[in-house]
Structure 1
Amino acid sequence: MPIPLSILDLAPIAPGETAGDSFAASVLLAQAAERHGYRRVWYAEHHNMPSIASSATSILIGHVAAHTSTIRLGAGGVMLPNHAPLTIAEQFGTLESLYPGRIDLGLGRAPGSDQNTMRALRRDGLSAEQFPQDVLELQAYLRGESLIPGVQAVPGAGTNVPLYILGSSLFGARLAAALGLPYAFASHFAPDALHEAMATYRREFQPSDQLAEPYAIAGVNVVAAQESADAVEQFETTRRARVRGMISRGPGAPEYSDEQIDAFLLTPDGRRLADMMRYTAVGTPTEVRGFLEDFAVSAQADELIVAFQSQAIADRLRSVELTATAMAGASG
C-alpha cells in the first residue's frame, strides 16, 4: 500500500494577484486533491503576511468544503494561543455540523506572526505556556464535557472533531504522546528536530479515546513536472520568492532582484534560510516518488502532508496530479 498523501495549502497570493484569486486557487487545489485520492487538505493560520491568505482558517475551510464533496478539510493549524478555546470549539463545531465527518482540527502554539502582530491580536506573550491546558479545555468542549461549569460549545458539544498536535520541536511531540493524539511535524519548513521528535512521540505515546496507537504525519515540499529541468526552475522561482519575503518585509522594504537573491543564498544566512526547505522533492514523477518513499521511511511517518511549492496554480495542479499518479503506481 502506498503511504497516504495529504496537502498543506498555504493559500499563497502570487505577485499581481489578490486574496480572492488565492481562494479560487484553493478551491481548485482541493477539488484536484479529491479527484486524485488525497486524504485531506489543511490550511495554516498566518497573520500579517502579504503573500499568504489563510489567516481566517475556519472561514476558508467552510468555503472550500462547500465546493468539494468527500475530502477531509482542516486547520494545519489553528494557533490556539491566539484564540479562546470556546471560540475555536464553536467554529469547528459549526464546520463539523455543516460538513459531518470531513473536518480536522490541527493545533499549534506558535504565533503565526511577528511580535507586533502578536500585540495586534491581543495575544499575551506568555499565552503559549497555557497551550496544554487550552488543548484539554478545547477537547472537553468538543466532547460535550466542558471543564468550565455552565459553559458549553453550541455548536460543538458532542461533535468530537478530531484533534492533531502540530509542532517543530520535542514539546509538541511529548504533548501529543501524553494526550494520545496524532502528531504532525512541520518538516516542510523546520527540519532540524524531525527524527528526534518522531522517535520521542512514538516512544512516549499513551493510548487515548481518540487514538489507540501513535499516528505521525510529516510535512514535505514537492515540485513535480514532466521534465526535471522544469521542476527545478519552478522550485528556484518559489525559493527566491520565499527568501525575498523573509528579508524584505514591511512598507518601504527594498526590492531585490533574482540575481541579488541568488547571491544572498550563497551566504551563511542565505544557506540557513534555504535549509528550511531541506525536505523538498523536486523533479519528474519518478524522482519525486523515490524521494517521498525514502523520506517517509526516514521520518517514521504514517502519512505525508505535502506543500506543493510551484508559484502558478496550473503548475501546482499538475504537480498534485503527477505526484498522486506516481505514488499510486508505486504500489503496483
Structure 2
Amino acid sequence: MTDFSILDLVPVREGGTLSQAFEAARDLAVAAEQLGCKRFWVAEHHAMDGIAGGATSVVLAHIGNATSTIRIGSGGIMLPNHTPFQIAEQFRTLDALFPGRVDLGLGRAPGAGPELQRALRKDLHRAAEMFPQDVVELRALLEGTPAVGIRATPGHGAAVEMWMLGSSLFGAQLAAQLGLPYAFASHFAPDHLDTAIALYRRNFTPSATCPQPRVMAAMNLFVADTEDEAQTLASSQMQSFVALRTGAPGRLRPPVAGYRESLPPTAQAMLRHIGQASAIGTPQTVRDEVQRFIARTGADEIVFAGPTFDPAARIRSLELALDALAG
C-alpha cells in the first residue's frame, strides 16, 4: 500500500504576512494528520521573500506542537549550509519534543549565490564536496558512535529517521551506498526520476535502520470540482516557476484563469517540462494520474507539493484527492 505525505514550502502570499504563512502551514499539517497522511515535511530555502521555511527546525517545532501523530521533518535540510554537529543538536531536540515522529531529509545543493555564502560564513561549494562525509558524520552523531570523538547533547542516540533527497543520480547512489531511504524531487526536476530510482534499487546496501530500499517520489497536486478550476488553482505555482526562471522570484501570487495559455510558447514548454510529475484536475483525473505515477515508479510513498494562494483551497484539494484515492 502506498503512503501519502505533504511537502510544504511555507509560502508567503502577496499581501500576506509571515505569521499568516506559519498559521497556514500549521493548519495544513493538522488537516493532513486528520486525513491520514504519513508525514509533513518542510523545505529549507534562504533569502527568498516568498518562502518562510528557512529556519526549518523552528518551523517543525511549531508544526509538531499543533499535531500529535503525523511524522514531521525536513524535505530537506541543505547540509552544506550547516555543520553536522548543529543539525544533530537541532533534530535530537525535535526528537525529544516529539518522540518517534521526526524525519531528517538531507540535500546537497547549497542553492546559494555569493551573498548567502558570505552571510553563512561558509564556502558552500567546498561544503557540497564534503557532503558524503558530513552525512556519515551526522548519522554517527545522532547514533552516538564513540569514534566521532564528541557527543552532541542534545543529539546523542536520537531515533531520527534519516532520508537522502535528490534530483540527480548522485543522491541515489549515496542513498544506496549508505542504506538510507531515498526521496526524489520529481515535482520540479523530473528528468532523472526513472534512472535514479533504478540505480538506487540496483545498488542498495541494507542497513540496520533500512533493510530494504524505500522510495518516495514527489508530485504536484491541485484538485478541484472542475478541470478549469484546478488549472486556475495551479496557476499560482506556475507563476512562481516562471518568476524564478526569469530571475524575479517573489511572493505567491493570486491565481489567474487561463494563465498557462496566456504565456509565450517557450514558457508553456518550460511549465510542461518541469510539471511532468503533476496531478491537476478533478478527483477522477487526479486519481488516475497518481495511480499511473505509482505504477511507473513503484514508489512506496508519494509526497504531494503544490501551494495555493488560498490556504483553504490546498486543504480542500488534499481532501478531494485522498478521498478519490481511497475509493
Normalising by the residue count of structure 1, what TM-score does the alignment of the two structures yield?
A: 0.92
Counterpart Cα distance in 1 of 2:56 and 2:200: 27
CA RMSD of aligned residues (A): 2.2
Note closer, same or farther for the CA distance 1:52–1:17 as it changes in structure 2 (3 Å cut): same
Q: Which structure 1 residue ranges, 5 or more long, are not aligned?
A: none
2:130 match: secondary structure: helix
1:123 match: secondary structure: coil
Which deviations, in whole Å up to 9, do the C-alpha atoms of 1:155-186 show, x marking residues without a partner? 11111311100000000000000000000000
Counterpart Cα distance in 2 of 1:115 and 1:263: 36
Aligned to 1:126: 126
Aligned to 1:107: 106
Aligned to 1:310: 308
Which deviations, in whole Å up to 9, do the C-alpha atoms of 1:199-251 show, x marking residues without a partner? 00000000001111000000100001122221011112331233124424379
CA contact (8 A) 2:141 2:148 kept: no
Residue 286 of structure 1: how far off its partner (Å): 1.2
Give the partner amino acid of 1:143: E
- Percent identical residues: 46
2:15 match: secondary structure: coil
Which deviations, in whole Å up to 9, do the C-alpha atoms of 1:226-278 show, x marking residues without a partner? 22221011112331233124424379xxx9xx79x858843436523552122
CA contact (8 A) 2:48 2:249 kept: no
CA contact (8 A) 1:5 1:39 kept: yes
Aligned to 1:155: 154
Residue 116 of structure 1: how far off its partner (Å): 2.7
CA contact (8 A) 1:92 1:105 kept: yes
Counterpart Cα distance in 2 of 1:293 and 1:263: 27
Aligned to 2:30: 31
Counterpart Cα distance in 1 of 2:176 and 2:156: 24
CA contact (8 A) 1:45 1:112 kept: no
Aligned to 2:275: 277
Note closer, same or farther for the CA distance 1:271–1:250 as it changes in structure 2 (3 Å cut): closer
- The correspondence of residues 2-41 of structure 1 with structure 2, limited to 5 A, is 3-41=2-40
- The correspondence of residues 252-271 of structure 1 with structure 2, limited to 5 A, is 265-268=263-266, 271=269
Counterpart Cα distance in 2 of 1:237 and 1:24: 19
Q: Which structure 2 residue ranges, 5 or more long, are not aligned?
A: none
The yes-or-no answer on 1:139 pairing with 2:139 is yes
Counterpart Cα distance in 2 of 1:155 and 1:274: 45
Residue 314 of structure 1: how far off its partner (Å): 1.0
Counterpart Cα distance in 2 of 1:117 and 1:267: 34
Counterpart Cα distance in 2 of 1:263 and 1:71: 38
